[in-house]
Structure 1
Amino acid sequence: ACYIQNCPLGGKRAVLDLDVRKCIPCGPGGKGRCFGPSICCGDELGCFVGTAEALRCQEENYLPS
């Protein structure tokens, strides 16, 4: 799963050495990012927890990291 709070081994800077896929967008207009399987947050949106806007985040559980 690809949740924003996940950091690569070696810390945040180690991600520069990896080919990492982007997390899927969530929320209205795809302006949010997943923070867990039922949490979608965005700067302009706030957070949606366990709502229809956060449903897409569950897809991350079935995608490779």
Structure 2
Amino acid sequence: MKPGIKLRDHQQTLMDATKAACQVHQRVLAVSPTGSGKSMMIADLIAWGRAKHTLGAHYCAARYPR
């Protein structure tokens, strides 16, 4: 993660991006939650979120199951 970014702020940003993408049924690129600078497709972000138990991923998976 980049210096100066609080973990909670980073998690909230991920959750907001996940919700927004799900609400409009888009496959969008999101910043990697690992802070590696790489991008992920939203489906990959959801999978990562499931592994990490993030609220945004659970919201998206429950509302728009595959």
Pairwise TM-score range, normalised by the shorter structure: under 0.3
Q: With structure 2 as the length reference, what TM-score do the two structures score?
A: 0.26
Highest CA radius of gyration, 1 or 2? 1
Q: With structure 1 as the length reference, what TM-score do the two structures score?
A: 0.26
Higher strand share: 1
